[in-house]
Amino acid sequence: MRISDDLFWITPSGPHKGGLSPSDMVLMSTSGEVVEASLRRPSSEWRMHAAIYKVRSDAKAVVHAHGSLSTTLATLIGGITPLSEEGVIYLGGRVQVVPWRRAGTWDLANAVAEALEDSNIVVIERHGSVAVGPNLEVACARVESLEEAAEHLRAVLRSGRGGWRSVLWP
């Protein structure tokens, strides 16, 4: 979560995210300086968070997740289009795929930040999703909505029926 133009909290590298407490978080600057830390190092994806905060002044939170179904389907078919109204509300339309780049690099960070200039969520090919929001709850809801949209899409693909439509299409 962003706390100022230049500072943000990020999860540490290594431990399972479900077992973290506030004291485990790492405070960083967008230039990469660790300002305040627990005994842990920042996530290896700190560059991606920093790059996003630099291009999205409205983003107060960044959530990076590794949803297996959304990552798989988006990678295989080049994106995910929500089929439900809730999906459209949270995802804003078709979720694009950022081509794979090595995790933790500036190359990946800059590609994701560029893709998020005009979107609130993207999928990194063969890696996971990244969402932004005005707060942590909205960013998390976007990631959850993406996984739900992937579940809807899987059901449609399994049905073998053609002619399905998203609420985006008349």
Q: What is the DSSP string of the chain?
A: -BSSSSEEEEPBSSS-GGG--GGG-EEEETTS-EEE--SSPBPTTHHHHHHHHHH-TT--EEEEE--HHHHHHHHHHT-B---SHHHHHHH-SPBPEEPP--TTSHHHHHHHHHHTTS-SEEEETTTEEEEEESSHHHHHHHHHHHHHHHHHHHHHHHHT------TT--
* pLDDT at position 170: 46
Q: Are 114 and 108 within 8 A, CB to CB?
A: no
What's the pLDDT tens digit per position in 154-164? 998 888 766 55
CATH class of 7-159: alpha beta
Say yes or no to pLDDT of 25 above 90. yes
Q: Are 105 and 121 within 8 A, CB to CB?
A: no
What's the pLDDT tens digit per position in 110-153? 999 999 999 999 999 999 999 999 999 999 999 999 999 999 99
Mean of pLDDT values over 92-105: 96
pTM score: 0.90
Q: Are 128 and 72 within 8 A, CB to CB?
A: no
Say yes or no to pLDDT of 166 above 70. no
